Structure 1
Amino acid sequence: MGQQAIDDKRVEQFETAFHGAVIRPDDPEYDDARTVWNGMIDKHPALIARCRGVGDVISAVNFARENELLVAVRGGGHNVAGTAVCDDGLVVDLSEMQGVRVDPDAQRAWVQAGATWADVDHETQAFGLATPGGAVSETGVAGLTLGGGIGHLRCKYGLTCDNLRSVDLVTASGEFATASEDQNSDLFWGIRGGGGNFGVVTGFEFELHPVGPEVATCLVFYSGGRMVECLRAYREYVASAAAEVSTLTLAGVMPDEELFPADLVDETKIAITGCYAGSVADGERALAPLREIAEPIADFSGTMPYTEYQQLFDEDYPDGMRYYWKSLYLDGLSESAIDRITYWTDIAPSPLSTVDVWQLGGAIARVDPEDSAFAGRHAPFLLGVEANWEHPEDDDANVEWVRDCLDDMRQFSDGSVYLNFPGFLEEGDDMMRTTFGPTYERLVTLKDEYDPTNLFSLNQNIAPSGSARADGGTRHE
């Protein structure tokens, strides 16, 4: 969508009818408002429309469409690809729409699209309830849910999108709609895993489950020299793990002077972490084998509040650090795959980077693949390759490491990816077609119906048929 100067009178008219703040480049709060979590992202939108409610979202979408502006939608601003902000266009900023309402009897929560998982957990845990969220509490609810949502309760209760019961959204035409199994069911199918392609979701209704307030957790670190042994044992463990167990491994240097003895701070390590969605006593027994694979160099396992476990990794992903992540669904954890994971861990250019293996299956795999757009139910594991570093001069080395690792690891995968760990958007249409397979054409049909001009293109984009990408194919590099 071509960018152009916005007529001042039109902007003034927009501001007059808008209840939230309309932030321009000359406003003192502009730089803070355009900043997102990933320090690699440095975009300068023409306007930021900080919405207070659905009426503001409708106004912002209509203004963008009528003025042919590129649109970015900001929820939590935590997406690694930086799609919450854009150059020259309009940011529909939902960050002040953070309300969470819980009905403990019905075990339902209604969540506005600017909320984070910390906001949700705070309210739901007051009643000993939770819905599957992410692995970092500062992550936005909206982006995680629309991309599927792989978190700490996944094997027992499924993906975040599996626990979605309805959404409210504003379509590209500026119309308000509700989607559920009973209303606009085709749209509800696409929302669950198809990303932000079909509208601006303003609110979510989630099913809740009894969780916590205390849960049994595992967080154990082994020497990197035992990585092959640990990954083999992990493979065997998850093959027969209890349904309540959801775990992952993280391999890297992970330098932390507070956690490790001085002589181990700069050494490669492998961590195994997870929690048990059930009784603490059962959880301690179920997780115990993960703590006994070898002699740990540190073991922080134990019982803790669920909210504390949800925040365990927050400090490892601070605002403003530089991030470049990619993912692949793995068809198994073969001896060759383990060897290559070890290799890529050892040559990571940043000590803050990790190569992660997420246990999947369980409740994720029990949902019929045709029931939602989410494309990863077939895989037993997800590989996450996270480059995390601090200085711009190290950008090229870290990005190259991630790309080379993924190119190598595709031999153990069908090439499909988890859309919430996509890297930037340079892969384009081929990545989406590979990930969704035959489902892709159904998503295109849905895109044609709800966003035929590709107003919502800054996402893991599904381009409508018969039209070029509205953003001209521009991708972050």
Structure 2
Amino acid sequence: MTQTTIATRDGPPTAVPGETIEALRHRLRGSLLVPEDPGYEDATRLWNGLIEKTPALVVRPTGTADVVAAVDFAREHDLLLSVKGGGHNIAGTALADGGLTIDTSSLRGVTIDPEARTVTAQAGCLLGDVDRETQLHGLATPLGFISETGLAGLTLGGGFGYLTRRFGWTVDNLLEVEVVTADGAVRQASRDEHEDLFWAVRGAGHNLGVVTSFTYRLHDVGPTVYGGLVAWSFDRADAVIDAYRELTTTAPRS
């Protein structure tokens, strides 16, 4: 009987029987990958190429039910668990070295409600995925500066970008999340439901569950936005910074 050694949360690694892993595979609609499988390298690729971590198992969910299955499996076997969104975190925390990683890159659906002025996006979306769809309606929500950044990591950490001065942080515009908590329950959290969980995910959400979708408020922005770069030599830095500080006290929030 084959076994796979997998890192646990706090103690020594545990040996998980092959048939137990196969049972997880059959429970998934998405993929279960091990280091020898095609697709594993892509599923564990990070923006910071200096990070070298090798999860024992990678689940690539195609829906919330797959996320529940992965969380249940990790809990039942006390496994080290991580979630990979865009893989943009420079410290490489998206990968559980020797453990189980949930790679959400297949969850990239975006739904716009132009009348309600909201967008709902799945956890594997990149910022560019959301901007591409919202701009069809001349709408946007404050996101980050880099289109290849993962939506989930940005949002759960607060979210700061070009539109923040006018419309606030990304989490200021977050209306609702769907999150799988450690007990395997699927919860909708907002200002009206599971308010404590909603409060916590807006800034510390990396620690509280696996968020599978986000709903945001939209604003009239674009589709044409004017901008540019103005540069000064370094020897003028003090004067430029002083002038900028004075300007921003009265400048419009856009």
Normalised-by-shorter TM-score class: over 0.9
Residue 85 of structure 2 is aligned to residue 75 of structure 1: yes
Q: CA deviation at 1:143?
A: 0.7
Q: Is the 8 A contact 1:35 1:42 kept in 2?
A: no
Residue number in structure 1 paired with 2:220: 210
Query: 2:207 is matched by which residue type in structure 1?
Result: N
> Which residue of the other structure, out of 176, 180, 199, is the alignment partner of 1:166?
176
Partner of 1:17: 27
Q: 1:171 touches 1:199 (CA, 8 Å); kept in 2?
A: yes
1:424 is matched with: none
Distance 2:218 2:127 in 1: 13
Structure 1 position 32, deviation (Å): 2.4
Q: Deviations over 1:92-145 (max 9, x none)?
A: 111100000001111011110000110000100000000000010111111111
Residue by residue over 1:6-32, the C-alpha shift from the partner in whole angstroms, topping out at 9 and shown as x without a partner, is 221110110011111111011132222
Structure 1 residue 109 corresponds to structure 2 residue 119: yes
Structure 1: which 5+ runs fail to align? 245-477
Structure 1 position 84 matched with structure 2 position 94: yes
1:39 aligns with one of 33, 49, 53: 49
Give the drift of 1:231: 1.7
Q: Does 2:195 match 1:181?
A: no
- Structure 1 partner of 2:166: 156
Alignment equivalent of 1:241, drawn from 216, 231, 251? 251
SS in 2 for 1:178: strand
CA positional deviation for 1:38: 1.0
- Name the CA distance, whole Å, in 2 between partners of 1:52 and 1:62: 16
**CA deviation string 1:277-321 (max 9, x = no partner):** xxxxxxxxxxxxxxxxxxxxxxxxxxxxxxxxxxxxxxxxxxxxx
Query: Partner of 1:98: helix, strand, or coil?
Result: coil
Secondary structure of 1:5's aligned partner:
strand
- Give the count of matched residue pairs: 244
Matched letter for residue 36 of structure 2: D
Q: Which of 28, 36, 44 does residue 38 from structure 2 map onto? A: 28
1:450-465 equivalence runs, <5 A: none
Q: Deviations over 1:1-60 (max 9, x none)?
A: 233232211101100111111110111322222111112211000000001000000000
Q: 2:107 aligns with which of 73, 97, 100?
A: 97
- Greater Cα radius of gyration, structure 1 or 2: 1
Matched, 1:49 2:59: yes
CA RMSD of aligned residues (A): 1.1
- Letter of the aligned partner of 2:64 in structure 1? V
**Inter-partner Cα distance in structure 2 for 1:28 and 1:199:** 28
Residue 22 of structure 1 aligns to a residue in which SS? strand
User: Does the 8 A contact of 1:75 with 1:141 survive in 2?
Assistant: yes
What percent of counterpart residues are identical?
49
Structure 1 equivalent of residue 143 of structure 2: 133
- Out of 115, 119, 139, the position equivalent to 2:129 is 119
Separation in structure 1 between the aligned mates of residue 56 and residue 200 of structure 2, nearest angstrom: 30
Partner of 1:231: 241
Letter in 1 for 2:38: P
Which among 66, 69, 72 is matched to residue 59 of structure 1?
Answer: 69
**TM-score normalised by length of structure 1:** 0.50
Shift of 1:239: 2.2
- The correspondence of residues 310-459 of structure 1 with structure 2, limited to 5 A, is none
Residues of 1 paired with 2:47 and 2:141: CA distance? 24
Displacement of 1:69 in angstroms is 0.9
- Write the deviation string for residues 54-104 of structure 1: whole angstroms up to 9, x where unpaired: 000000000111111111101111122211112110001111000000011
Give the distance between the partners of 2:31 and 2:15, measured in 1 at CA: 20
Q: Which amino acid aligns with 1:5?
A: A
SS of corresponding position for 2:146: coil
1:302-317 mapped onto 2 (5 Å cutoff) = none
Deviation at 1:221, TM superposition (A): 1.9
Q: Distance in 1 between matches of 2:215 and 2:86?
A: 17
